[in-house]
Amino acid sequence: MMDIIDLVINQGISAGQFIKIILWMLPQIALFSLPAACLMSVMLAFIRLGSDNEIIALNASGISLYQMLPPVIIFSLSTYIIAGLLAVYGVPWGNRAYKDYVHVITKTKTNFTIKERIFYKDIDNLVFYVNSYSTSEKEMKDIFIVDKRKKDVTTTIVAESGMVITGMTPNTINLHLNNGTIFMNDSDLKNPSTMKFPTLDYPIALGDISSNLATREKKPKEMYFHELRNRLNSRGMDPSERNEIGIKLYEMFSIPLAIFILGIIGAYLGSHVKAHGRTAGVIISLIVFMIYYISLMGSRYLSEMGLVAPSIGVWAPVLLLLIISLFLLSRVRKNGAFSLFY
């Protein structure tokens, strides 16, 4: 979200670009929210049944909790499939599209990325420096440019003021400069030349954006399953990078499974919380989710630090949920009602 805020405030992206970025982030947002959503939806449904005494009526008719579980299993399994598709395909696609789009914006919207007294080097073989910049008027002061994109020729431009204008083609920008000097030198510095100008339109071609996107190194969260697997099987990788890739690979399957188990836990919780204890039921469900979330973040941190193998650390929260689920099942069998203490 901080990256999006930076794009909106500092780089001036349009409303359409903002909507595209949000859409590409939706898979990751949905996967993050599905564990709590599945747990709460199942639990609240059973709490509503209990508050209307429908569970009591079903039990009086000889229908036990276990006979009520098939719809929950179907719902949780559906959520598991959706989460699995999001984890394997949706999240990498969204993260990759988001990063590529931000990369294109950075390349083609140079005027929005200008910051005072900072050397801009995002364009290959070109250095751009502005001493002061007015965001309201889009006007630059005290401009310094070093262009080495032409082979064996270095062009240095110094100008008092100027503006950045989007070029006629999507992959070009135009620097409109005022009151400056151009210094041109070849590689051996034998034929220097100097030229003063009152105004100068200096185009910068950005035609290499597509190739930059193709060669841009993808982060683990942008990789699909086969890319993570191939990368994990490669040799000569840094241990920290291997741990990060392993975490992303195993989480593609551990998080959807955790969502499925949370749905089953929600049925146990909701069916054994009385109507007057609805608030307690919600609190208990939130505690269960927080236990899962904290254990997920903790195991991820331990795996990133190399203290625990990713194959073990990533599955530890799922194992914890499974233990909680079996514990709740044992309480139901013994007492017919949910209790943590007897």
Contact 51, 275 (CB under 8 A): yes
CA-to-CA distance for 216 and 209, rounded, in angstroms?
Answer: 10
Q: Output the pLDDT for position 210.
A: 46
CA-to-CA distance for 241 and 235, rounded, in angstroms?
Answer: 12
Residue with tokens 């609805």: 278
Q: Output the pLDDT for position 76.
A: 92
Ranking 65-74, 104-113, 327-336 by mean pLDDT, the lowest is: 104-113
Q: What single DSSP character describes residue 235?
A: S
Quickly state the pLDDT bin for 118 (edges 50, 70, 90).
confident
Q: Is the pTM of this model over 0.85?
A: no
Instruction: Determine if residue 142 is left, alpha or beta; phi over 0 gives left, psi from -120 to 50 gives alpha, anything else beta.
Output: left
Q: Please give the structure tokens belonging to residue 266.
A: 């929600």
CA-to-CA distance for 83 and 85, rounded, in angstroms?
Answer: 5
List the beta bridge partners of residue 191: none
* Neighbouring residues of 169: CB distance < 8 A, sequence distance ≥ 6: none
Question: pLDDT digits over 127-140, tens only?
Answer: 888 988 887 777 88
Domain segments of the chain as ranges = 29-89+221-335, 124-205
Mean per-residue pLDDT, 18-29: 87
Whether 290 has a pLDDT exceeding 70, the answer reads: yes
Q: Output the pLDDT for position 205.
A: 67
Name the residue among 28, 16, 14 with its Cα closest to residue 86. Answer: 28
Question: pLDDT digits over 129-175, tens only?
Answer: 898 888 777 788 999 988 887 777 888 999 999 987 765 555 677 78
